[in-house]
Amino acid sequence: MEEHKLNGNGRDEIFSTKVKAGKRTYFFDVKSTRSNDFYLTITESKKRFKEDGFTYEKHKIFLYKEDFNKFMEALTNTVNHVKNELMPGVDFSQFDQVHPEEVTAGVPKSTDDELKWD
């Protein structure tokens, strides 16, 4: 069995995907709780320059399994509204091309038969 990566608060990170988007990077991380349940964190990270170097400004959302469907439905409805109602003339297929450096998907860190990731 592979080892899980423990972060600072003692939670196991099971899976991670990184999306680079201009000056921002988004991290989608699956983590486990002490009771062997799973949740998702979505982190937006922006590099900020200061006089003595730089720092990262981070914003984090915790998403629990009971909210996955509601979250996805709201996100899909909102994106579709922008595409179909606010910007119907924009050809969004031009943004379908994903560059390898923009998305990095991790592999599951568990060999548990219950965890299947595509």
CB 40: neighbour CB atoms within 10 A?
17
Q: Which CATH class is domain 5-88+99-105?
A: alpha beta
Please tell me the distance from the alpha carbon of residue 57 to that of residue 59, in angstroms, as a whole number: 7
Query: What pLDDT does 53 receive?
Result: 87
Please state, in angstroms and as integers, the Cα–Cα distance from residue 71 to each residue in 64, 75, 96, 98, following that order: 10, 6, 22, 23
Q: Select from 58, 70, 2 the least CA-distant residue to 29.
A: 58
Confidence (pTM)? 0.68
C-alpha angle 109-105-9 in degrees, rounded to nearest 5: 50
18 contacts 2 by C-beta, under 8 angstroms: no
pLDDT in tens, the chain (118 residues): 223 354 555 556 799 999 998 889 999 999 998 898 999 999 999 988 888 888 899 999 999 999 999 999 999 999 999 999 999 999 988 887 666 555 566 655 444 433 333 3
